[in-house]
Amino acid sequence: MKKSHLNVITVCSLVLALCLSGLTNTFAQVKYKPAGNVKITIEGTSNIHDWSMVSDKGTCTGEIVINNAGTLSGISAFNFSVPAESLKSEHKAMDKNTYKALNTSKYATISFTVEAASIKPTGNSGYVLTTKGKLTISGVTKEILLTANGVVNADKSISYTGSYKLKMKDYNVEPPSIMFGAIKTGNDIVVKFNLLLKETEKSNLSLN
């Protein structure tokens, strides 16, 4: 009787171990890409009034790790770029001088490449994404920390919004002016972004 009891315990232990092994050693990796255009807004000041430039021509690729429960748990790759001359204001003269300041004839693209990332849930399908990566503007690359707020939608797409403050001169960009210098922009700007990612590829990975 004692031997039978031990056999039952042994069998149960083996079954439990196999179940736990299956849960911990396999997870899904999902690759997302933007659904539609990535919107970028740059906001700044001048000695006359505030100004902004907008682009919806940004492109973004990312690989996002999701666990067996369907919860967002990490990011393994994420890259973003936008054509500098796709940024437009309400004034053609401002656009022209901005492109000149950015030296777009030589450096046509603004880009951000993620090197490390972490995601923390905030409740109600929300996540805070914190990334460390390289931002390149006008040929100058700097390592920055970027934070974005993400929400998983009902259709399993992911919406991200965020902003980053920087100084143009840190990237060797002279703040542009118009009207023969009568209107001078400030050195400080805020870059805002808004993008929607949708699943394009899914696979099961094993940690064994």
pTM above 0.85, yes or no: no
**Distance between CA 132 and CA 146 in Å, rounded?**
6
State the CATH architecture for 27-203. Beta Barrel (2.40)
pLDDT band for position 180 (50/70/90)?
low
Tokens matching residue 54: 């907008």
The tokens 């905030």 sit on which residue? Answer: 122
What does the radius of gyration of the chain's CA atoms come to, in whole angstroms? 24
In Å, how far from its chain's centre is CA 197?
10
b/e map 45-69, b = 16+ CB within 10 Å: bbeeeebebbbebbbbebbbbbeee
What H or E segment, with its residue span, contains residue 8? helix 2-25
61-98 residue pLDDT tens: 777 776 666 566 677 778 899 999 999 999 899 999 99
**Distance between CA 94 and CA 102 in Å, rounded?**
12
pLDDT for 208 equals: 52
130-161 residue pLDDT tens: 889 999 999 999 999 999 998 888 888 889 99
22-59 residue pLDDT tens: 334 455 566 777 787 789 999 999 888 899 999 999 98
**Distance between CA 54 and CA 191 in Å, rounded?**
10
Number of neighbouring beta carbons within 10 Å of residue 84: 18
Q: Which of 2-6, 113-117, 182-186 has the lowest mean pLDDT?
A: 2-6
